[in-house]
Structure 1
């Protein structure tokens, strides 16, 4: 999110603009926004931010549903479609890849066009992949056509980046963990909701009626766009800062956090897209049986994401993230055992636990990002609003890169499953590789943000006057 919130002095009215800031047309532009000012926040800021959060969540929710559309469409694709399991895994990987790439330009769009304006446009854009899927979902369509149409659904993945950029600008640092967790969690729930709808359609109308799912979402997309237009606001002080993006790309913490986000969000979205296919391919579940289980993990993972943010606000994101990766490793070990033994009940216990843990980790890692750059500002001797502005600038830019890389982690998971099933007919080798990833992520979290020796050396260096000490990140 290469966007910066520039706080301005001037009118006490948040819709003011007497401070000489760049003019904007329309009543939905707010030209003064100072969320770190507690008086401003109590008098008007919190109310406005909450309203924007509510409708941002709804729009992002629909975006996630369309992004994960093909995890449902493949359940309708029986033998008459002529697509094998490996081909289906590649098909659901396409939206993941496109969504990850689009997150970068979507982060710049908020400042360029306004958060409200871009939310309206990006919501309406979801009509394209939905309509295209309605046209091609029939036996006899070429596999290449399916790939192209599935790729169009990637626009739903871009919505996450612009939504998080927008909400990040509305909230003060002390509230970001909860607000960003709620925004992301509400969006993530779009995955199990569309999967539940797929279950309902398969269970009532049969596996030959995928267009019913699409018909439900067309009016929802229009509703999201209309509500965003009526009730959301644009923040005039949010400006694109390409220099911040360059600076963030040079920061090692950006790439460290990108790795950790691959382990949490990449796992969540990758597993969400692949779960039903794994059940069909490894445990011979019918489309109805798979659909009746597929939604459970993504639903629980989405619901606990705000909890991860709240725990990180209270105990420190690094601590929660480290414990989370340890638990993810243990859950993956259970899944590997169940996969090798073909035990569906044990497999479901381990896999659903993984979903819950990915949700907690999503919240805690995203909370870490603004805290890390705030600590960087303190390390450089900044304080007060100057430190807060530095932290907002770098964390906003870093979030865009981190979100994009994290989404591409979902692509890696689906490609790993594709190769695993193509080579062995089982997902076990893929799960072994995921276990290695979680061990690496946990080790990196400890080494960079929690290692006691590093904190001790920093304190000694500070007492000895040997330059700026390394910041302590345990509380971020």
Structure 2
């Protein structure tokens, strides 16, 4: 503990706190529609396809906004860009509080809330720039732990909705975002505008170099399954539990919060194991666990076995998120910022595809089984690519 505190004093720790707070509150905002999806769907009488698209919409726009916000962080600086992100979140929340009377309006609100998912492109560069290279692992891990905002959204939003209604939750959420604006402005040190403008011209060259490497597309595929699966399942799970098992909103939110907690806390362990063993050797077991768990959920067993299998899948996804970024740092040691942005965007797209596909296939087939099995097939494809990579690299093939 003393070593950790010593390391934290080697950089600008108020900026680290600001980065963590930005990421935490933004993650809560990003998944707000998913946590309230049951209430919104019942009031607006949505079909399964509409439900899936609505909860997936912030995930898709979040992937797109990550690219824009990443550019802003490089050019304007992460502090200035971070404040713009928070202000946009407040506009979206205000619209959700006062509007949202139709499906099209809710899609618009969901699209705007996606900018909260782009906090990834603010918080991590901010934390990184606040500390010397020797402490990057610790600092980036602490900043990324703000994924726990998923847990807070899924646990508290349904309970608040029972008191103030789902629109009222959007209004309540304005308060923590406003507090974050003030603290972020006070805690985070000023952007170095000159330095940012020196970095920005290299962005296009780094992008072209990254996209020219096949490994980029491979890692995007893998992350769309692990991180995409994590946020996608957390967004769609309350609706699935309610529709399939008639679980009430609060209980469904609590189950989802547990999954979000498991997927968040195990992520550092995945990175640690990957450091010791090698990420490429661990990934086959990760994707096999995800695929097997998804197949089991797709059989639509009784509630308790279904929840156990979903928790196993989310835990494997969280573990895989930690493993994957060890592989990313190994493949793109000099372009880690650019690679993280592109791969993170792919994760958001994967997050969109899961709930939208789950709802669409439910309407097409009359059962939720098809959606779970389709995602299991995607995890199986990811498993096959990793096995092929390991074979080509002459890495030892482990079971799984």
- TM > 0.5 fold call: yes
CA deviations over 1:13-47 (Å, ceiling 9, x no partner): xxxxxxxxxxxxxxxxxxxxxxxxxxxxx999863
CA deviations over 1:37-79 (Å, ceiling 9, x no partner): xxxxx99986325543332121111111111111123222364
- Say if 2:308 is the partner of 1:349: yes
1:258-273 maps to which residues of 2 (within 5 A)? 258-273=220-235
Q: Which residue of 2 aligns with 1:165?
A: 125
**Are the equivalent residues in 2 in contact too, given 1:177–1:310 (CA < 8 A)?**
no
CA deviations over 1:430-464 (Å, ceiling 9, x no partner): 1111111111112222322x32x5348xxxxxxxx
- Say if 2:49 is the partner of 1:90: no
**Are the equivalent residues in 2 in contact too, given 1:181–1:309 (CA < 8 A)?**
no
Post-superposition shift, 1:192?
1.8
**Are the equivalent residues in 1 in contact too, given 2:234–2:260 (CA < 8 A)?**
yes
Higher-Rg structure is 1
2:86 paired residue among 100, 114, 123: 123
Q: Which residue of 2 aligns with 1:70?
A: 33
**Are the equivalent residues in 2 in contact too, given 1:325–1:441 (CA < 8 A)?**
yes
C-alpha separation between the residues in 1 aligned to 2:385 and 2:138?
A: 25
Q: Which residue of 2 aligns with 1:414?
A: 355
**Are the equivalent residues in 2 in contact too, given 1:328–1:357 (CA < 8 A)?**
yes
- Say if 2:362 is the partner of 1:454: no
Equivalent pairs, count: 388
**Are the equivalent residues in 2 in contact too, given 1:176–1:367 (CA < 8 A)?**
no
- Say if 2:247 is the partner of 1:282: no
Q: Structure 1 pair 174/372, CA: closer, same or farther in 2 (3 Å)?
A: farther
CA deviations over 1:399-434 (Å, ceiling 9, x no partner): 211111111001110121012210233221111111
SS at match of 1:180: helix
C-alpha separation between the residues in 1 aligned to 2:25 and 2:116?
A: 8
Point out the structure with the larger helix share: 2
1:100 paired residue among 34, 52, 63: 63
**Are the equivalent residues in 2 in contact too, given 1:202–1:288 (CA < 8 A)?**
no
1:435 paired residue among 359, 366, 376: 376
C-alpha separation between the residues in 2 aligned to 1:80 and 1:434?
A: 29
Gap regions ≥5 residues in structure 2:
none
C-alpha separation between the residues in 2 aligned to 1:327 and 1:292?
A: 23
Post-superposition shift, 1:173?
6.4
CA deviations over 1:345-369 (Å, ceiling 9, x no partner): 0000000111111111111112221
1:289-308 maps to which residues of 2 (within 5 A)? 289-308=251-270
Q: Which residue of 2 aligns with 1:360?
A: 319
Q: Structure 1 pair 272/261, CA: closer, same or farther in 2 (3 Å)?
A: same
1:398 paired residue among 339, 344, 350: 339
C-alpha separation between the residues in 1 aligned to 2:373 and 2:270?
A: 26
Gap regions ≥5 residues in structure 1:
1-41, 375-390, 457-471
2:44 paired residue among 68, 81, 84: 81
SS at match of 1:47: coil
C-alpha separation between the residues in 2 aligned to 1:169 and 1:315?
A: 29
SS at match of 1:77: helix
Post-superposition shift, 1:169?
4.5
**Are the equivalent residues in 1 in contact too, given 2:283–2:323 (CA < 8 A)?**
yes
**Are the equivalent residues in 2 in contact too, given 1:268–1:355 (CA < 8 A)?**
yes
C-alpha separation between the residues in 1 aligned to 2:347 and 2:379?
A: 14
**Are the equivalent residues in 2 in contact too, given 1:197–1:213 (CA < 8 A)?**
no
1:194-213 maps to which residues of 2 (within 5 A)? 194-202=153-161, 205=163, 209-213=165-169
**Are the equivalent residues in 2 in contact too, given 1:103–1:157 (CA < 8 A)?**
yes
Post-superposition shift, 1:84?
2.7
**Are the equivalent residues in 1 in contact too, given 2:288–2:379 (CA < 8 A)?**
yes
C-alpha separation between the residues in 1 aligned to 2:16 and 2:388?
A: 35
Q: What is the Cα-based RMSD across aligned positions, in Å?
A: 2.6
SS at match of 1:288: helix
- Say if 2:98 is the partner of 1:144: no
1:223-242 maps to which residues of 2 (within 5 A)? 223-233=179-189, 234=191, 237=195, 239-240=199-200, 241=202, 242=204
C-alpha separation between the residues in 2 aligned to 1:184 and 1:423?
A: 38
**Are the equivalent residues in 2 in contact too, given 1:106–1:158 (CA < 8 A)?**
yes
